[in-house]
Structure 1
Amino acid sequence: MGHSTSRIHHVGHLVENMAEAISLYERLGFVIPPPSCPALPRGEGAEPEPFGAANTHADFPSSFLELATAVKDGDTGSLPADTHLVPLEAPAETLPLLVERIGETSANLAACLDRFQGLHIVMFSSLAIDETAERLTSAGTRHGGVNTVRRPAPEGAKTPTETIRYLEIDGDGPDTTPGTVAEGRVGFVAPLDPDIQGARRLDHPNGALELVEATLCVADSELAAARRRYETYLGLPARQEGPAHLFDLDGATLKLLPHSGLTTALPDEQPPALPAFLSYTVSVRDLALTRDLLRRNGLPVRETPSGDVFVPSDVALGTAVVFRSAA
């Protein structure tokens, strides 16, 4: 490949109520572990309380689906009882900065949720993230630089700590905040470690194998500008297929879809705002078995003209969840 963008690393579904979202995703047939959330004591000697943002994943070998929510002060009712609280531990001189950064992330999530509940995050896997940062800078695309965070690796991994290196693109609009563009949070992450990812639960009852597509819906008048923007972000050209403009990655696709082409791509779907990440697609082993599982779990199932099946956004908390045969 002539570029460093390898695939979609993960998408992020922002939800109002994490407990409700986990219940939905289990009905969709995904394995979802209990969420994690930073915690801080509200006073000297007090027990740590949830703070910032909570999240959890449905994991695949090379990608994952993220569920995330902003945690409001004093409001823990939207978090499941088994939420894993992670007390913030840092030297006294760095703790305020850490709290500030977590607060900024939570504020960005809350702003996205104020816009609508649904898909707001698409992060791409970069094989050379420092080179990607340099390429974006040279192209005039603002970003926050490469950040490094570490977290405990799952039980069974060969290394005790997972290192995550990422960058977030900054939008140019007057209303965008650092780390966001008009449609949400877009950026790059160094590839997942195969050993660490393999230690996670990857066997989903719905037969899901990988994240293979994300769809961004834009106003027809903004399609050309969105295409140029993502050609700059990804460092590769798009190709046109019907009304859509597609970016072919390694085993995955980013689809830019004009609003006028929506009815033929995802029947009866309408974005609550534009631009908007409208849906994501996962590949499955046996589409017929996946369809049966969804119906048994009381979820409505629709079909696209191309033969994929999907659960509509009005049921799936603001995003259409699409399933595609791996064959």
Structure 2
Amino acid sequence: MTDNRTEEADRQLPIGEEIFLDHVGHFVRDPVAAGAALKRAGFAPTPVSVQSNPDGSPTGTGNITAMFRRGYMEVLFKTADTPLGLEFQAALTGHSGVHLAAFSAADAEGAHRRLREAGFAMRPLVQFQRPVDTVNGPDVAAFTVVRLDRGAMAEGRIQILAHRTENTVWQPRWLTHPNGAQGLIDLMVVSADPKEAADRFVRFTGHPAKPTKYGQAITLDRGQVQLVSRHAFEAMLPEIAIPQLPFLGAYAVRVQSLAAAETLLQREGMAMRRLGQALVVPFPSDIGLGAWLFVENGRDLPWRV
């Protein structure tokens, strides 16, 4: 793919060979406290859901989500000592926070084949689902997930998925948030070697990287991955402690009105500060280490300026 795109795709799911930044996942210990923290930050989280395999057996994790008009944010917690649950527990031992970045594709089988040909060690495709309530009664949210072998991406659980049930995942009643959240924009990855990390993410996404004043940027068909050094991250976000490298340290959320979001967060006593046309909001401790950057437009993000 070329890197001369100026407009992002404005739809929930990709078509053809497109790849989107679909969602990010916080690993937490206490889903109740995490849900309360999201509400305090002005999100409207969905009810708790326990994930299962098609045969009904537990995957080992459950979640709550904040669904946006474009993409979403997820909070995951352990539910069983399955292989996936034990992997989750091992990641959480380091720190709570963002340990998952999921990218969406239209063709999971094709994505799996492309990654294998790009030299990644792969696990078999897997079908996941979780129960959801809809206005018409109980239903399921279903996904085909493309997973790398553990350790293939040092940054955490980096995966591609194809959504099979768009309407049950993005229900209109969950898309309105008091803070005005509209969409997931960019993910920031802090690395000891941003160039090496960028090379892997280029192979993973199939999109090229370009140098920025902070590191490397990979522009997807929707969203971007920003790869920066410890020094660059600390210069931009000095209030965020880096627990270890690599670190999924921040992500950007588009809001309808920055002023309205700021007013709500001030009323809730949330820590925050302005950074140009962005609002930096450290995560509440119950969802881990890192920060949101709220902006009205992606072009207002400090790393895009």
Aligning the two structures, in what range does the TM-score lie when normalised by the shorter sequence? 0.7 to 0.9
Q: Which residue of 2 aligns with 1:182?
A: 154
Q: Which residue of 2 aligns with 1:205?
A: 178
Q: Is the 8 A contact 1:64 1:211 kept in 2?
A: yes
Q: Is the 8 A contact 2:17 2:106 kept in 1?
A: yes
Q: Which residue of 2 aligns with 1:93?
A: none
Deviations 1:99-133 (A, max 9, x none): xxx71111111111101111100010112221111
Q: Shift of the alpha carbon at 1:51?
A: 9.0
Q: Which residue of 1 aligns with 2:9?
A: none
**Long gaps (5+) in structure 1:** 40-49, 73-101
Q: Which residue of 2 aligns with 1:274?
A: 245
Q: Which residue of 1 aligns with 2:262?
A: 291
Q: Which residue of 1 aligns with 2:282?
A: 312
Question: Do structure 1's residue 129 and structure 2's residue 108 form an aligned pair?
Answer: yes
Q: Which residue of 2 aligns with 1:324?
A: 295
Describe the SS at the equivalent of 1:280: strand
One-letter amino acid of the counterpart of residue 308, structure 1: A
One-letter amino acid of the counterpart of residue 168, structure 1: R
Q: Shift of the alpha carbon at 1:326?
A: 3.3
Q: 1:118 to 1:153 in 2, by over 3 A?
A: closer
Describe the SS at the equivalent of 1:190: strand
Q: Is the 8 A contact 1:280 1:322 kept in 2?
A: yes
One-letter amino acid of the counterpart of residue 147, structure 1: V
Q: Shift of the alpha carbon at 1:213?
A: 1.1
One-letter amino acid of the counterpart of residue 225, structure 2: L
Q: Is the 8 A contact 2:97 2:290 kept in 1?
A: yes
Equivalent of 2:191 in 218, 225, 240: 218
Write out aligned runs for 1:1-327 (5 A): 4-37=17-50, 52-71=60-79, 103-156=82-135, 160-171=139-150, 176=151, 181-191=153-163, 193-196=165-168, 197-219=170-192, 222-304=193-275, 306-313=276-283, 315=285, 317-326=288-297
Task: State the distance in 1 between where 2:136 and 2:182 align.
Answer: 20
Deviations 1:17-59 (A, max 9, x none): 21111111000000112212369xxxxxxxxxx9932311101
Q: Is the 8 A contact 1:157 1:195 kept in 2?
A: no
TM-score by length of 1: 0.77
Moved more, 129-138 or 264-273: 264-273
Q: 1:53 to 1:195 in 2, by over 3 A?
A: closer
Describe the SS at the equivalent of 1:293: helix
Task: State the distance in 2 between where 1:32 and 1:314 align.
Answer: 15
Q: Which residue of 2 aligns with 1:83?
A: none
| Matched length | 278
* Pair member with larger Rg: 1
One-letter amino acid of the counterpart of residue 189, structure 2: L
Moved more, 206-215 or 56-65: 56-65
